[in-house]
Structure 1
Amino acid sequence: MIRKRRFTRAFLISIFSIVFIVTIQTKFNIYKDVNHELSVVFTTAAIKGKGFPTTTRGLDLRPKPKRLVHEVSCEQIIEGNKQHISFASNVSESLDYKYLTDKDIRKLAQDCEKFLEIFDYNRFTVSQEELDFPLAFSIIAHKDAVQIEMLLRAIYRPHNVYCIHVDRSSDSFVLDAMKAISKCFSNVLIASKLEDIIYEGYSRLQADLNCMADLLNKTDVDWKYLINLPAQEYPLKTNAEIVKIFKIFNGTSSIESIYHEGTHYRVNETYRVNPKTLKMEGTGRQKDPPPYNTTVGKGSAYGAFSRRFVHFALNDERAQGVLQWTKDTFSPDETFWATLVMNKHLGAPGIKYTASGIPDQSLWITTSITWKFIKPQPVCHGKYVRDVCVFGLGDLQRLVSVKELFANKFYHDYQPFALKCMEEWLFNKSSTNLPSELYYYRRIMES
């Protein structure tokens, strides 16, 4: 009798346990399905301008972190785990990667519905704050449609606007691919005028100006800031973070500008393109002084420009005079913006100066770049190309913590997990509502 009671009790306990486990599992599966469904609905609602709810009935329905890279752990790479970085490096060398060609990208983009599904252009969320603060982006590209698309996808939001300038001398399949992609979006355009870009020549600056003019005059989007990018850059901040930072800047641009005697050779004589080598060379003929009693500045070709500044650069008589003067100088893309900013009397809007009247260096937050010749600099764990570090796996831990908005540069086919892991990290950061670290940007604006 005792043995029978024990058996009955054990049997009942087992049945109860099975029922309990099945019930919990069923509820969990239902929650997962509901969470996925709501995520899709909320994303669609955000595109239509309704914002993105984060909780319903007390449940956290924010999308959970995803692994976009499955061969290695991006988390360990970004945390700086040297053993796993070495492991990831060995894995990438052993894998026989088949990258999409320019022709492949063009073919995929012929079917927009298929293209958007394959590359998952609906995987972002948009807040009302972002919708109220649209941005413009100019991308200068000359090769690798696969990497251009990767950058576009990282910065794409349906309420922003984008201009892509493809070097006229590029392989025709690159331009064809970008044209095909642009037809899938109402807010992505190809520059109305394409330049045959000569490195360090005026055509490089003209390419940016063409896109800026198109973004200012050929779109109905009332964008607040414009960021110009080479296709090898990648964002370090989400769109939401960039918006919050620019709202703190409140119309102030982020444009590098210094006075550097070591660069005077660029403007002391005139330069021309050697038709045989297609390189810039000095003519030996002395260059006339710049107009309007200006001091020539030196800076980056890339920046974050307020709408008022772009309008000034394209339309102000003095700004256009400076532009014309730079045409036969060396690398005018690193001179024009810097000179407009360097000279307070030119009246460029939205520039913050120090008490001594020079541009405030603390506001140069657009691009993180590691130059070979500037010391001290962080170690480059990738390789140097034209004295610029092409980032590798060992650079990610530092990059995710810097204050700049973008990192220059990556190659999609060099240590490929570096760019793939940046994509995974940015995607997961974009899918959360964690507080943004804005103290640094408020401090430099208030100082």
Structure 2
Amino acid sequence: MTQNFLRCLMCRQFRTYFLLVIAMAFIFQSLLVFYLLAKVKDTEGPTEFGSSDSSRIQQAFVNEKEPSVLSNSACGILSKTALSAIKRATTKKCKEELSDIACRLKNNQLVPERLPNNCPRKDSVPGSSLGCFHDNNQSRLLSSYGVKLPGLTNQKCIDLCGQSAFLYAGTHNGKECYCGNKKPSLEHLLTKTYCSVPCDGQSSQTCGGVDATEIFDSGVPTRDSAKLQAPIVNGTAKIAFILTLNGRALRQVTRLLRVIYRPHHVYLIHVDARQDFLFRSLLQLELKYPNIRLSRKRQSSIWGGVSLLDVLLQSMEQLLEIDSQWQFVFNLSESDFPLRSIESLEALLAANPGRNFLKSHGRQTRQFIHKQGLDRVFHQCESRMWRVGDRNLPAGIRIDGGSDWVGLARSVVEFATAPSYSNDPLLRGLKELYRYTLLPAESFFHVLILNSKFCDSYADNNLRMTLWRRSQGCLCQHRHVVDWCGCSPMVFRTADWTHLTSVMAKSTVFFARKFEAAIDQSVMNRLEEQLTNTSLSYPGLDCYWESAYHRADLTPKPNKALLTVALSLAKHAISLLLQNSVAECPGLRPSRVVAITSYFRHDHYLGDLIHFEVDEKDVEFEALVKPLTKTIHLMKSPRILSTLQVGSDFDPKEQVFRNRLGVLSSRSKPIATFKWTGHINTTAASQLAHLVWFDPDDNVRAVHNVNVTDASKMGNQNLEIDHPLKPGVWLVAVIYNGKKIATTEFLIVPQAGDQSTQFEARISESQKVWEKYLPVDAKSAIYRREKALLMKKDISKFLDKMTAEYYAIQDICYKDQPPHCATIGFHDWQSCLSTDWSSFSQDPKSELL
């Protein structure tokens, strides 16, 4: 009986244990499925073991591949990255394109697996084995780069090292690949039996041994570039210039053209398809100068976009049709400026016929590939570069890249664009590859030249100079147009003059970038004086004008809020003009805004010129207006906060607002900028301040914590609200150590259609905590309530009242013809032609020659 009882008990225990095991297995499987579906991790490529500046190889793990999830695509399963892009795209056409590219990528139909290298190293046999050599972690023979490579084969390792221009490749212990440029000494040579570990990707092949590496010749040439010959005195060369332009900086463009223009050169201008003002303004140059052409094949040249390479290739093709004599082509932008005369450039080119001037990245190629995103697939649509997924670059070729500002010989241009070469395997394959590549112009020509018959013509010098400050230039300011973080050079300022001239003295440079007259025109004035060896002296030299709007523009679409404010300011300017007049001028009612132009003097923004028409025919006015600061500092001494401002279109690199008039609508994305002084108590318990955002109804809409310890830099904080902003007066309060130290107001301009918009009325949970920091005096509270009531009652009157409070009318004048009432007591009327901030057409720089 006892034995039967024990058997029963054991049976029950076994059944319980068995059920428990099944339950645990089911839970583990569920968690695993959930993990694979939820995890979002980008593949960073194979794990690296070392770098070019270290001889010791470090052990690392292989990165996991990007998870796949179910989708409605015909492919059945697409990556998380592809699905994100498809979801965020807004048009059906773009969604379909992204889906098709993701499917082709998944089916290995998007990227060529291998491309020919037509530039092998002399006296080498690509892929040949040098033998089996003793090798281990303590003393690597190939120490420049190492990686643990899943599916390793000897050819896979050779291709990887050849891609990075390493002369030798070595396989080790079946799974590891090493690259280097130093040929191994024969003293380390072993018999083949020591290299007997099967390759992870092909068991019939051996890939080194435990303490042995089989080393192969990659066959690629060394990194040496063609040396430049000294310039030929009075030497000449015919140059074709491609100007790829964006924005509205007409005066800066015409100034650049005036400095580089020579009758015997050729100039082709491509203006972004979205910039009608610049295209329309420059079109007249074709009538005056037969060697200047504007491209009619215009594209949207977004940062990092495939269209940038398309523009260059199309422009080069057009230049071949326009002129048969030019020998070199250089591309420039509106932010370039010459450092030396065009004649000195001709002298250098005459001494170096057939050379191609490109700048390499100057660091390890694998690092460049990852940081540049070359191992990712991108697609351009909706004026954005969408990231679709990961890819392997074609085997067999050397990868390089760097700057997209180049100088190319005519022979390379013909090879890249002429129909007779369109079936060349290397060229055709590279064009397929770069159709889905981020920043394609920064490496296409490098790779084409280094792997073709032109490889000996590569000069690692693009004759340019840029100003890099990585801490400011790499702030992901292009996220609105690309699924990637990239870096951009800084704008040269007068403070950079010593650095600029020192580089000029040491290096062979002919152009520099970036320059922007709206930020610092003085440095350009100094450069031109040095370039021409003359002292510049003409009216308006210390001034700069830049168009912000013109009624004739077809693109981009006009900013309705800006035009609403501009017309209200025009009414205010006329009312100020008439307030002391005894005469009546019923025809002086503003009817339409013609143009808005930003005005600078001595590198300071002085306001915008609003050019407008009135009801009286043949009379137009210009009013100079400037936004007023609405910031109040509440701590007298010592002041902790230096600056506080709210606007939009903030450039974190240059730390300026591009929306200079500061007009905000319900769809704007406000951003607060601030800078702390050196009077911060660094021993205080809290090093955080709070930015509290109040809407027109005094509701708390957001609270942000900001660090106050770094007083040397401008900080910024976006108002991150998904819903439209309620029109009216908003307020931002800065709280530090429980005290309100500053406030600023900003206006959300009411517009037609806002009445039907649903504005979020949700009150923050922290309302009671922060509402005590609203203005508490009766006068301020009454004033805020009056403004809110006026906006509900009469939007037009509210807007007129607010523009009078938020902007100052600096000056006003008539254009061309005086109004009829100017003869009846208006002795102070002025024509714009007599003022130093005069009309746009009067600046001497608007003429090319």
TM-score normalised by the chain length of structure 2: 0.31
Question: Which residue identity is paired with 1:133?
Answer: A
Hey, what's the Cα distance between the residues in 2 that align with 1:273 and 1:215?
A: 26
Alpha carbons 2:470, 2:487 under 8 Å: kept = no
Note the alpha carbon deviations across 1:81-133, whole angstroms, 9 max, x for none.
Answer: xxxxxxxxxxxxxxxxxxxxxxxxxxxxxxxxxxxxxxxxxxxxxx9946x52
Residue matched to 1:394: 495
Residue matched to 2:522: 417
- 2:480 corresponds to 1:340: no
Alpha carbons 1:306, 1:350 under 8 Å: kept = no
Residue matched to 2:407: 304
> Within 5 Å, which residues of 2 pair with 1:21-420?
129=234, 132-143=236-247, 144-170=249-275, 172-220=276-324, 222-258=325-361, 260-265=365-370, 266-273=373-380, 275=382, 278-284=383-389, 286-287=390-391, 289-290=393-394, 293-315=396-418, 316=421, 317=424, 318-343=426-451, 346-348=452-454, 351-352=457-458, 361=460, 364-373=461-470, 386-401=487-502, 402=504, 403-420=508-525
Question: How many residues matched?
Answer: 277
Hey, what's the Cα distance between the residues in 2 that align with 1:409 and 1:205?
A: 20
Note the alpha carbon deviations across 1:165-214, whole angstroms, 9 max, x for none.
Answer: 000011x1110011112321000001241111121111011111121111
Identity of aligned residues (%): 24
Q: Aligned in 2, Cα 1:371/1:229: closer, same or farther, shift over 3 Å?
A: same
SS in 2 for 1:140: strand
Note the alpha carbon deviations across 1:124-169, whole angstroms, 9 max, x for none.
Answer: xxx9946x52211111101211111111111100010000100001
When you count helix as a share of all residues, which structure comes out higher? 1
SS in 1 for 2:387: strand
Q: Aligned in 2, Cα 1:329/1:134: closer, same or farther, shift over 3 Å?
A: same
Report the CA distance between 1:249 and its aligned residue.
1.8
Higher relative contact order (CA closer than 8 Å, sequence separation 6+):
1
Alpha carbons 2:304, 2:438 under 8 Å: kept = yes
Alpha carbons 1:135, 1:160 under 8 Å: kept = yes
Note the alpha carbon deviations across 1:389-420, whole angstroms, 9 max, x for none.
Answer: 20011223332452211001100121211112
Hey, what's the Cα distance between the residues in 1 that align with 2:470 and 2:305?
A: 22
Residue matched to 2:176: none
Hey, what's the Cα distance between the residues in 1 that align with 2:384 and 2:436?
A: 13
SS in 2 for 1:264: helix
> Structure 1 residue runs of 4+, over 6 Å off?
none
Alpha carbons 2:401, 2:443 under 8 Å: kept = yes
Hey, what's the Cα distance between the residues in 2 that align with 1:429 and 1:342?
A: 43
Note the alpha carbon deviations across 1:298-344, whole angstroms, 9 max, x for none.
Answer: 2211111111121122233222431221110111111201212332x
Note the alpha carbon deviations across 1:363-392, whole angstroms, 9 max, x for none.
Answer: x04210122239xxxxxxxxxx95412001
Hey, what's the Cα distance between the residues in 1 that align with 2:297 and 2:246?
A: 15
Question: Which residue identity is paired with 1:179?
Answer: L
Alpha carbons 2:240, 2:330 under 8 Å: kept = yes
Hey, what's the Cα distance between the residues in 2 that align with 1:391 and 1:210?
A: 30
Q: Aligned in 2, Cα 1:413/1:306: closer, same or farther, shift over 3 Å?
A: same
Hey, what's the Cα distance between the residues in 1 that align with 2:347 and 2:400?
A: 29
Hey, what's the Cα distance between the residues in 2 that align with 1:394 and 1:212?
A: 37
Hey, what's the Cα distance between the residues in 2 that align with 1:429 and 1:294?
A: 50
SS in 2 for 1:183: helix
Hey, what's the Cα distance between the residues in 1 that align with 2:251 and 2:274?
A: 18
Hey, what's the Cα distance between the residues in 1 that align with 2:294 and 2:456?
A: 28
Hey, what's the Cα distance between the residues in 1 that align with 2:277 and 2:410?
A: 33
Q: Aligned in 2, Cα 1:341/1:373: closer, same or farther, shift over 3 Å?
A: farther
SS in 1 for 2:283: helix
Question: Which residue identity is paired with 1:351?
Answer: S
Hey, what's the Cα distance between the residues in 2 that align with 1:250 and 1:429?
A: 32
TM-score normalised by the chain length of structure 1: 0.57
Hey, what's the Cα distance between the residues in 2 that align with 1:226 and 1:138?
A: 7
Hey, what's the Cα distance between the residues in 2 that align with 1:128 and 1:187?
A: 26
Q: Aligned in 2, Cα 1:397/1:167: closer, same or farther, shift over 3 Å?
A: same
Hey, what's the Cα distance between the residues in 2 that align with 1:429 and 1:302?
A: 29
- RMSD of Structure 2 on Structure 1 (CA): 2.7
Alpha carbons 1:290, 1:296 under 8 Å: kept = no
Q: Aligned in 2, Cα 1:349/1:298: closer, same or farther, shift over 3 Å?
A: closer
Residue matched to 2:795: none
When you count strand as a share of all residues, which structure comes out higher? 2
Q: Aligned in 2, Cα 1:387/1:267: closer, same or farther, shift over 3 Å?
A: closer
Alpha carbons 2:306, 2:380 under 8 Å: kept = no
Q: Aligned in 2, Cα 1:350/1:146: closer, same or farther, shift over 3 Å?
A: farther
Question: Which residue identity is paired with 2:352?
Answer: F
Hey, what's the Cα distance between the residues in 2 that align with 1:195 and 1:215?
A: 17
Hey, what's the Cα distance between the residues in 2 that align with 1:226 and 1:350?
A: 18
Hey, what's the Cα distance between the residues in 2 that align with 1:152 and 1:142?
A: 15
Structure 1 residues not aligned, in runs of 5+: 1-126, 353-359, 375-384, 431-447
